[in-house]
């Protein structure tokens, strides 16, 4: 009788561990893409590489690195088609510095596009060395 109770308790305990482990695992899209963007002057803009976007979800961007203290950038979502970028942010723009993460509103799919990129515009850039930022972005979260 004691053996059956111990086995039952072990099975219940193992099941609880599995449930807690699955629910506490961070979820990250498989379509994630690391990025590095470099700027020479204040107000300069550059785009991340384009990625396929298959849902109407937000685009997530995480800034993890930069090389010039005091520099920052603004990001907004653009659609990409046939060599052209199209602003699909509806005016939403997000401030980024190191350790900043934003879920960026966009209308890529709603406006009939299937590829997305993030337009980055840098400020407080060093006139001599420029500035560089790095991190990750996910087109579908």
Residue 33 confidence (pLDDT): 78
pLDDT tens for the chain, residues 1 to 141: 566 665 655 555 555 545 545 444 444 444 457 899 999 999 999 999 999 999 999 999 999 999 999 999 999 999 999 999 999 999 999 999 999 999 999 999 999 999 999 999 999 998 888 999 999 999 998
Predicted structure pTM score: 0.75
As a whole number of angstroms, the distance between CA 86 and CA 7 comes to: 61
Domain boundaries, the chain: 29-136
Residue 23 confidence (pLDDT): 46
- Give φ, ψ of 7 to 5 degrees: -65, -45
Residue 61 confidence (pLDDT): 97
As a whole number of angstroms, the distance between CA 107 and CA 55 comes to: 10
Residue 55 confidence (pLDDT): 96
| DSSP, residue by residue, 19-78 | HHHHHHSPP--TT-EEEEEEESSTT-EEEPPPEE--SSSPEEEEEEEESSTT-EEEEEEE
Q: How many CB atoms lie within 10 A of CB 100?
A: 16
Q: In the numeric block, which tokens belong to residue 35?
A: 């990025």
CATH class, range 29-136: mainly beta
Look-up of token digits 């979800």: 57
């Amino acid at each position: 009788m004691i053996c059956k109770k111990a086995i039952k308790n072990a099975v219940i305990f193992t099941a609880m561990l599995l449930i807690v482990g699955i629910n506490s695992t961070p979820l990250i899209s498989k379509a994630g893409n690391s990025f590095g963007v470099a700027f020479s002057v204040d107000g300069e803009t550059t785009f991340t590489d384009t990625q396929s976007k298959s849902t109407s979800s937000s685009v997530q961007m995480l800034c993890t690195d930069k090389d010039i203290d005091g520099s920052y950038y603004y990001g907004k979502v653009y659609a990409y088609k046939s060599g052209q970028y199209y602003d699909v942010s509806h005016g939403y723009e997000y401030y980024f510095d190191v350790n900043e993460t934003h879920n960026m509103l966009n209308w890529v799919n709603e406006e009939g596009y299937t590829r997305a990129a993030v337009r980055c515009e840098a400020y407080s850039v060093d006139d001599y060395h420029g500035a560089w930022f790095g991190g990750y972005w996910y087109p579908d979260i």
